[in-house]
């Protein structure tokens, strides 16, 4: 069980937070520019940091599923859970679904315009790994 949890942590790159922090950084700037009250500042930054980690995890898992055959041949990536077959594609897809549901939950706290922009970006997020 513990090994399976570690595989999911690796799949979502939760053990390598820099990418999620880089995603959260522009959100932090946006919140700061809006100059909200301290409670809103804390709330939205917490929401965006959570969302950045969750959505990056979904993106990493999606990328790993699509690149699994290539990843097996590359020294740096051959031990990723999908490539190494320590997680199945089905488990990877389930992980993505869970992340997306959690990400959708964070959208509920945003204004309608922000939700629309987020939803418009989804096809680009899905297609991005295919452009490499």
Q: What is the average pLDDT value for the chain, to the nearest integer?
A: 94
User: What's residue 36's pLDDT?
Assistant: 87
Residue 42 scores a pLDDT above 70: yes
How many Cα neighbours within 13 Å face the side chain of 37?
A: 2
- Domain ranges for the chain, please list them: 2-131
Q: Name which CATH class applies to 2-131.
A: mainly alpha
Cα gap 10→78, rounded to integer Å: 12
Q: pTM value?
A: 0.90
Whether the pLDDT of residue 130 is over 90: the answer is no
Long-range pairs of 120-125 with CB within 8 A, sequence gap ≥ 24:
125/59, 125/62
Residue 67: partners with Cβ closer than 8 Å, 6 or more residues away? 77, 83, 129, 132
């Amino acid at each position: 069980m513990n090994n399976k949890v570690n595989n999911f942590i690796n799949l979502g790159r939760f053990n390598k937070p820099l990418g999620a922090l880089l995603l959260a950084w522009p959100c932090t700037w946006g919140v700061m520019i809006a100059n909200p009250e301290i409670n809103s500042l804390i709330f939205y930054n917490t929401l965006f940091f959570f969302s950045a980690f969750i959505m990056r995890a979904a993106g990493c898992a999606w990328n790993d599923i699509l690149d699994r055959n290539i990843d097996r041949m590359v020294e740096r990536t051959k031990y990723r859970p999908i490539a190494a077959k320590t997680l199945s594609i089905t488990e990877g897809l389930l992980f993505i679904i869970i992340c997306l549901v959690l990400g959708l939950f964070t959208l509920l706290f945003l204004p309608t315009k922000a939700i629309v922009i987020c939803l418009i970006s989804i096809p680009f997020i899905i297609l991005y790994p295919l452009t490499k």
